[in-house]
Structure 1
Amino acid sequence: MVFQTEGAYTPAQIVMKAIQVAFYVFMRSIQIPFDWRFARKLNHKILIVHEFGEKQLKKLLVLSGLLLASALAHADCQIGTSFYTPQTKAAVMSHGWVFKNAGVVCDKLHQAGAKISVMGMASPVAGRTVAWAVLTVEDRATGIVVEDFSSAEIEVSKGVDADGGTELLSSTINAAANRWVELDSALQALDQKRKQLGIAQAH
């Protein structure tokens, strides 16, 4: 069995692949024919070249379970956050972390025992709403903040937002997180600061 893929899969796509493969293996195990040409019509990224033997199918089932567990764990990852103002908290709590690589950032934060500290504000200026956000990393257990290697973003709406800028501020915060090119450096700086203070990393 050979898979041809186009580009990287999202966590949701990985889950679907694992479910598809597990379903196929289940159908084989109870000896019910399953035409993969039908599956190929549903998803052109999958191309079955030939069938595995029973041992290979068992291995594939185990692999499918691992992929599924990994994808679900990735999807359930929650970004730890602290807020400087009620407005930034309302923005994130109302709209969530929805930037493109949120899963990757979340995994890095968890591995480093860190969370995101959010500063920001949205306010009307000259007939428009201006929102700004600055993100830094913070130790999850002690609250130690590293201000180096932060990420900042500013966004301006076309008019005064009726919601007081909550949605615009959320967009600004997510944009800052998505473009955090020095996140790895920030996490390394946090680890160095812990060592200097003799503090163990939270797990």
Structure 2
Amino acid sequence: MPELGETGRQAENLLRASVFLPPRQDGLTPYRRPLPPGSIAGEDEALTTNGPALLVTYGSQRKLMTLIQGTGEQRLWRSDDGTVIATDGARVVATAGTVTSLAATRFDSPDPLDDVTTLLDRPAAARRVVDLVPANRDTDRMRFGVSLECRLRAARVEEGLYVEERCGGGARFLNRYWADPETGAVWRSEQWVGIDGRPLLIEVVSPPSN
């Protein structure tokens, strides 16, 4: 596990059971994935939710998640069926209740997503290590210390700022983020969390007040 220097940062989120109980594109043109039908009857139901909430889709599953715990930019979100994701700012850093759980995320430098507006002028690199655990806890399929090397860049599009994050190393994938052009607040994203071919599609229904 990397040591954290004065200018470095280590974001590690171990989700414990006690918390949960009670086509490839080479350019910067965003692809909008249609939302599949799911457990939520309609958008109106999501919009009437009290408090901070996210609409999360992966595969054929679509879930409304509400904030259950938050300290600064680090937050825990939970759906009615017990699926949980942890976020640090816009970044999903841990999951539970999915086919493969993202058990931990560790950075050895600041996350460029902390200030996406700077990516317009200066593309950035990020290195992180993740731990992946299957839902059945099969030890042969657990992957610890998966190292990722990522490059991020941004462009202005009609919807605001669009960010692509291409990663290689222990896994190859493309993350996408849509953000407010002035504040840099990410309101929509598609993020790999260890589930092959099924990124989490996250839309902010009601943001935390902070």
Give the TM-score taking structure 1 as reference length: 0.28
- The structure with the greater share of residues assigned to helix is 1
Question: Max radius of gyration: which structure?
Answer: 1
- The structure with the greater share of residues assigned to strand is 2
